[in-house]
Structure 1
Amino acid sequence: SALGLGAFTPEVRERTLQSKPSAPPQDIKCVSTRSTAILVSWRPPPAESQNGVLAGYSVYYRALDSEDTELKEVNDIPPTTSQILLESLEKWTEYRITVVAHTEVGPGPESSPVIVRTDEDVPSAPPRKVEVEVLNSTAIQVFWRSPVQNRQHGQIRGYQVHYVRMENGEARGLPQIKDIMLADAQEMVIAGLQPETAYSITVAAYTMKGDGARSKPKVVTTKGAVPGKPILSVHQTEENTLLVKWEPPLDAEGQVIGYRLQFGRKDVDPLATLEFTALEDKYTAPSIHKGATYVFKLAVKSRAGFGEEAVQELTTPEDIPKGYPQILEASNITSMSVQFGWLPPVLAERNGAIVKYTVAYREAGSPGNPLEKDLPPSPENSYTLNGLKPNTAYDVKIRAHTSKGPGPYSPTVQYRTFQLDQVLPKNFKVKMVTKTSVLL
C-alpha cells in the first residue's frame, strides 16, 4: 500500500512436468574385450538436459561388414549403470554403436555413433581346395586357397603345412610343420622326404591369434628313388667300331632292372635308342663314320623310372673324303657362262668336315689338264663358270676336301653353251589351255 509492502503469502511450490532428455549420453567409449564382445561405457546427459529423472538407458548396435546387418538393442538398462558388455558378437567385425537416455516420458536423442571392431580370432574354417602333387622321390608340392572370407576372423598372416609319415593307415612319429609367413601364399614345396613313403598332409591358416582349423588330410606316397648316373666309357676299336661299357651306380644295389642307351652322331637327330637287361654291361656300335662326333647317353632303369643320364662324347679321326659331291642340273646357261650346283658327299663318305671344294673344267675333248677353282663351302653350294666360248661343250667335275686332303672327283658332267645369236624366250608362261589351243 502507500505505507509499504504487506506480508507475503505462504510459499507454494510446483514442479514442471518431465520431458524427454534433450541431449544424449556423453563420452561414449567402446572397447573390444575379445573376439565376440564389446564393452560400452558412457556418462549421463548434462543435468540441465535430462529434463526429468532418468529412468534408464538403451544401447543400439549393428554389424557393418556382415551378412546380418539388422539393428539390435539392449533396453531397460538401470539409470545407475554406466557400462554394458555386448556379447555373442561376430568375430573381427565392425559394429556401429549408439546410446540413448530415457525418462518416464520417453527416450532422448541418440549419441554420436562409435565404430569399433571386435578382436581377431583363429580362423574357424580351413583353407580350401587343398591338393598335393608328388614331384619326385623326396619332394611334394602342396596347393591351397584361402579360407572363406567370413570365417577368417582376422587378417591372414600365413599358413602352416603339417605332414606326418604314415604306415598301414596310422601316423608314425611326430608331425612336422612348415610355416610360410605370406598372407597370399597358395603353394609350398616340402623336400627331404623318404622315397616310397606315404605322408598325410593338412593345411591351416593363421592370424595373430594363432592357427585355425586344418584341412582334411591328403595322403600321398612319394616316388621310389631313381638311381644316380651309371659309370660309362666309350672306346674306338681297331675294327672301326665303338665299344660302350658301363657299370651301375655305387648306390643302386638291388634297384637296377635295366639300362637305356641313346647314341648316334651328334649332328643327326634323333638318336637311336636301345634297352638292355640289368645283367648286360656293354655294346658295340658298328658302321662308325670317320671324322664324326658321337654322343652316348646311358640311364639306369628302376621301378621308379629312369635315373640321371651319364653322357660321353667321342670324335673319330678325320680322313680324306671317300665319296664325291653330286653335281645337279645346270640352273642357268648362256652363250658365255654356266651356273650349276651340287650336293656334298653323303654323310657316311665325308670322313670329316668339308673345308673346301675344287671345281675342274675344260672344253670337251681338249688335251691337257683342266682348269681348277677352289671354292669355300656354303649353304648354296653353287658356282658360275664365266668367260666360256659360245656353242661349246664343257666337261665339269668337282671334289671335296677335309683337313686331311681332297677326295675323289665326281663323274664328269657335260654342259654346252648357247650360240651367240640364239635368242631365248623370257617370262615364259602358259595363260590358258583349251582342247584346240594354248595361249602363251
Structure 2
Amino acid sequence: MIIKWEPLKSMEQNGPGLEYKVAWKPQGASIEWEEETVTNHTLRVMTPSVYAPYDVQVQAINHIGPGPEPQSVTLYSGEDYPDTAPMVRSVEVINSTLVKVTWSAVPKERVHGHLKGYQVNWWKTKSLLDGRTHPKNVNILRFSGQRNYGMVPSLDAFSEFHLTVLAYNSKGSGPESEPYIFQTPEGVPEQPTFLKVVKVDKDTATLSWGLPKKLNGNLTGYLLQYQIINDTYEIGELNDINITNPSKPSWRLSNLSATTKYKFYLRACTSKGCGKPVSEESSTLGEGKYAGLYDDISTQGWFIGLMCAIALLTLVLLTICFVKRNRGGKYSVKEKEDLHPDPDIQSAKDETFGEYSDSDEKPLKGSLRSLNREMQATESADSLVEYGEGDHGLFNEDGSFIGAYTGSKEKGSVESNGSSTATFPLRS
C-alpha cells in the first residue's frame, strides 16, 4: 500500500528538523499501530491482504516536539486483478445490427480493487449467407460503473457471433465469461455498387448495375424507379418496377418519351426490405440517331456563342474577298478612250485607219477639226487656191487632211502618194 499526504509549508513548520510520523493498522483490528518516521511525504507499506481497508494517521514533528494529534483516514491496500468473471444472462436482438447484452455483476470481494466497469468482447464466426467462416477479430466495448447491461452496435446482419463479458479495475481486466453464441437476422442490403445507362434510344434505355458489397441476407430482387427531370419545374411522377430476378444485372426500360431527361434509382431488396438507392441520369434520343445529343449541345450557351462567332467570321472573310476583287479589276481600253478622248490620238487614228470608215461621204471628225484650225490660221480663202494647183491637192485619196501637219514647212504644196486628187470650192 502507498500512503501519500500534503507536506507542511515553510511558515507552518514553526522550527527546524521537520519529520512525519506515519501509523497504520487494519481497519477494525484490535492490534497495535505500526509506525514509521520519514522526512518526505510518501511511504510504501507492505500488507498481507489485497485491497483491504486500513486506518492511517500522519503527524508532523520538529525539534521542539510533535504537532497536533492526527485524525484517522481509511486507505486500501494494493489492487489485484479481478479473479472471477461475470456471467452472460441474455443477448436480445434489437435489429440486424444491434443487440442488448445483460450480465451478472462480479462480487465486490472478487474484484480485488476498485471496480471501474465491464468490458464486452465479440467477434464474427461465420456468415449465414454462404456459411463461410471468419478469422477471430475481437471487437471491444467498455461500460463504466456498476452496471449489468450494454448495447452492442455495428454488427453484420445475417451472421453468427461469439460474445464474452469481463470486469476490470485500476489494475486491469479479470477473466472472460464463457462465450455466448448468438445470430443476427437478415437486414436490408447496402446500395448497389454502381448504376449505368449503357444504351439509350428514342423511347428505350438499358441499365446495368453491380451487386451491393454487403447483401445482409438473401437477395429477393431489385426495385427500379425513374422519373422525368427535364428542369427544376418539371419533375415527373416516380414510376416503380419490381425486378424479381436477383441474378439479373440489367434491365431494358421501354415506352419512354423521346428527347427527355430521366433520373433512375435502383435498390437491392431482401425479405426485410430494400436498401439505399444508387442513382443515374440520362436523356433519350430524338427522331434521328444523334438528335438527342444535338439537342443537348444546342441548349448550351457556349455552343450558341461558338456558332455566332463562326458566322461573323465567315461574313468578314467574304467582305474582304469582295473588296480585293473589285480593287484589282481592269477596264476595257475602248471604254476608257470613249470616256476620256484625246484629240491628237484620235486624229492620228483617223488618218491611219480612215480607209475603214463606214461611209465615204461621212466626214471624219479629225479631218474637220484640222481643216477648221488651218482655215482660222491662214484667214484667207485665196491662199487655199495655191494648195490646189497642179496634181497635188490638200487631201489625199482617202480624204485625210495632210496639209495641217506639213503646211508650216512648205507653203505652196505637199507631195501626194496617190494619183487622184480631191478639191473643194474656194471663196473668190
TM-score by length of 1: 0.37
The structure that is strand-richer by fraction is 1
The structure that is helix-richer by fraction is 2
Give the greater-gyration-radius structure (CA). Answer: 2
TM-score by length of 2: 0.38
